[in-house]
Amino acid sequence: MSNAYEELLGYLDVGERIDSIVFGEFGWGSHYDEPSPYPVPETFQGIVLSLADAKPLMDGWQFDGGFGAAECYPVYVWTDKRVIFVSEYDGSTRLTSVPRHPEATEPSFA
């Protein structure tokens, strides 16, 4: 079974700490292919959650998906080092990130 929580933890650097998470609306703005019952109810979308509050909402779906309609919830995840979010190309989704604070780095296309 899919688990976005485990996927997110696997994306973190060693020692990186999650501060907060915000979920958006599933997929491309419709309930197409959204797991049922909805893992992230509308009442939990658009609000800042702790990792502990977000964890039970992250079961039954994953960030990394194939082409077609996006099949995950968009997120902003603030850590002590960066901001993690879902990048999407033609429905293919994956986690990506940018530094949380200004730093000398080589920007790239996500």
Nearest C-alpha neighbor of 26 from the set 63, 68, 74, 62: 74
- At 13-41, the pLDDT tens digits run 999 999 999 999 998 776 667 888 899 99
**Where do runs of H (alpha helix) occur along the chain?**
4-11, 51-54
- At 66-103, the pLDDT tens digits run 787 788 999 999 999 999 999 988 778 999 999 999 99
65 burial (CB, 10 Å; 0-12 / 13-18 / 19+) is buried
Global confidence as pTM: 0.91
What are the residue boundaries of the structural domains of the chain, listed by start? 4-99
- At 37-71, the pLDDT tens digits run 899 999 999 999 999 999 999 998 999 987 877 88
